[in-house]
Amino acid sequence: MNAEQAVDAINGVFGRHDGYRALHAKGTLCKGSFTASPEAASITRAGHMLGEPVAATVRFSNGSGNPKHPDYAPDPRGLAVKFYLPDDSRTDIVAVSTPRFPTRTPEGFMELMQAQKAPWKLPLFFARHPEALKVLPVAAPTLRPPASYAVIRYHGLHAFKWIATDGTERYVRYTWVPLQEGGRRQRDSDYLQQELRERLEAGPIRFRLELQVAMPGDPVDDPSAAWPDNRWRVDAGTLEVTGLETDRETGGDVLVFDPTRLTDGIELSDDPVLRFRPDAYSVSVARRT
């Protein structure tokens, strides 16, 4: 399956909406900063992990490809962060509320999309992709409508190789851990967007970047597979979201959050879903514009 076919499959489920992303079509852009911890600097030489605050663009979103999808509907939620490094380059982290990807491959995910249009295909899908049956019990609770974008744990899903200044290499996965509570009880079609704006008017929103570090033998090329809970976890720093971002995605500005946009000190794993993403984003961007 190529990227055009993949985006066609997604559009087949949610419809094609000019000017919007194929997935995570409904979202809110914010601005803020990220400050790395000393522990992060000890395991990567990446420029945004050395301890000095760096500016960030943040997008909270719903997973659906329909921009009119109501906030109260079951859906994965997203948190995408673009970091602006000291050398004027950029790097991104893309995370969602579901802790594991439903399939091992992009082809499997597209089969899942197609099965959603024709539920009678689901038994065949699960027979072909038994890993999805293991993911379903942990993913289903995260699809419930949350009280706020600000109180969700967001998972990076993919493994990345972090390289320290001494050349030591470790594979890690990302989790954004919320540092606030609360939310809205009354839930209308845009309650998450409204609550986010109200919360930011009252003060910053903060998340801690937590790393789970792989041990030898842990699968680093399978986003559907969990690592044991007892793996080393590192507090890598704090993201502070300070307000709405109104200067981006206006006019001809097209903003893309791509987890394969990396910087020195961080490298891709051999995860096929991760490596498929940039081609799919390119097709989505072309259709947005």
Tell me which residues are annotated as active site. Answer: 24
Using an 8 Å Cβ cutoff, are 213 and 168 in contact? no
User: How does DSSP assign 68-100, residue by residue?
Assistant: T--TTS---EEEEEEEE-TTS-EEEEEEESSSS
Side-chain half-sphere CA neighbours of 158 within 13 A: 24
CA distance 220 to 130: 19
Residue 96 forms beta bridges with which residues? 78, 155
DSSP 147-202: S-GGG--EE--S-EEEE-TT--EEEEEEEEEE------SS--TTHHHHHHHHHHHH
**259 Cβ neighbours under 8 A, 6+ residues apart:** 92, 93, 94, 156, 158, 274, 277
| DSSP single-letter state for residue 228 | P
For the residues of 14-58, what is the DSSP string, one character each? H---TTS-SSS-SEEEEEEEEEE-HHHHHH---GGGSSS-EEEEE
Torsion of CA 226, 129, 153, 235, to 10 degrees: 30
